[in-house]
Amino acid sequence: MGKSKVLVVGGTGYIGKRIVKASLAQGHETYVLHRPEIGVDIEKVQMLLSFKEQGARLIEGSFSNHRSLVDAVKQVDVVICTISGVHIRSHHILLQLKLVDAIKQAGNIKRFLPSEFGTDPARMADAMEPGRVTYDDKMVVRKAIQDAGIPFTYISANCFASYFVGGLCQPCKIIPSRESVYLFGDGTVKAIYVDEDDIATYTVKTIDDPRTLDKTLYLRPPENILSQIEVVNMWEKHIGKELEKTSISAEEFLAQMKGQDYIQQICSVHYYHVCFDGCLANFEIGDEGEEASQLYPEVNYTRVKDYLKRYL
């Protein structure tokens, strides 16, 4: 059986461009949806042209034109959507309902991977306001997919390394300090960090794999299941210096949120659940899920200790 044809929606975005690259690298006929209303966004145009030079096919389509989405979907076997669901960039998760409608009408898609790539929203029913909107919207999309009978795989990729490792797990920091760090409590709560290129590699590996059909794939590379203090200690070892450490309690962190704007509060809630509650690593994967590094041991994933070297 040949490899599935793949349509990437959101292919010029932060994760999307990596998915396109991984899909081409793994030998899939790869299509990238682009909007006719791209205007004079020269960086996106140049990225699209570079995809084309690498062998991707460009398909014009728009969420505002249902027919164009149906026509695009009919040309492929698998749809991967990577539109942003992070408020610090943009939040368009519910736009995917239009894509679900198009996939349902087209009737040919073997698998749909909606834009997830973070915390598993099915485990966040008790998340705090206002941050829970991210998880709630993703669950609305999941319900629509399952109500439509569309085959799916959900990707729970946990923490993007560039956002979390780069800032030593501190909000609004993406380059590690050589002087100081503040810890969430005592810094011993475990989280999971994954290089974005590895997220793309694992994602594309699932699409023709019957073991991940109608399941959630959790990305838990074993050497990257680490506490904040473990990440900090790795950085200290690299720079040969101990950082000055201060601690913020859960109560202090929540109190700080009161002076923040809406988008900052959403980001803070996400950090709270990851760094105080340990929501990424405090459960066992059940029958409804699979773990990526076990399914695909051939992937030589980037270790956090090695990821940190780029900042030296």
Residue pair 189/276 in contact (Cβ under 8 Å)? The answer is: yes
138 annotated active-site:
yes
Inter-axis angle of helices 66-73 and 96-106, nearest 10? 60
Burial of 221 (0-12, 13-18, 19+ CB in 10 A): buried
**Which pTM does this prediction carry?**
0.96
Strand-pairing partners, residue 183, are 247
Going residue by residue through the chain, which has 312 residues, state the pLDDT in tens, using 9 for 90 and above.
Answer: 689 999 999 999 999 999 999 999 999 999 999 988 777 789 999 999 999 999 999 999 999 999 999 999 999 999 999 998 665 556 789 999 999 999 999 999 999 999 999 999 999 999 999 999 999 999 999 999 999 999 999 999 999 999 999 999 999 899 999 999 999 999 999 999 999 999 999 999 999 999 999 999 999 999 999 999 999 999 999 999 999 999 999 999 999 998 899 989 999 999 999 999 999 999 999 999 999 999 999 999 999 999 999 999
Residue 86, C-beta contacts closer than 8 angstroms, at least 6 positions apart: 118, 134
Question: Distance (Å, rounded) from C-alpha 168 to C-alpha 228?
Answer: 7
Which candidate in 21, 104, 138, 205 is catalytic?
138
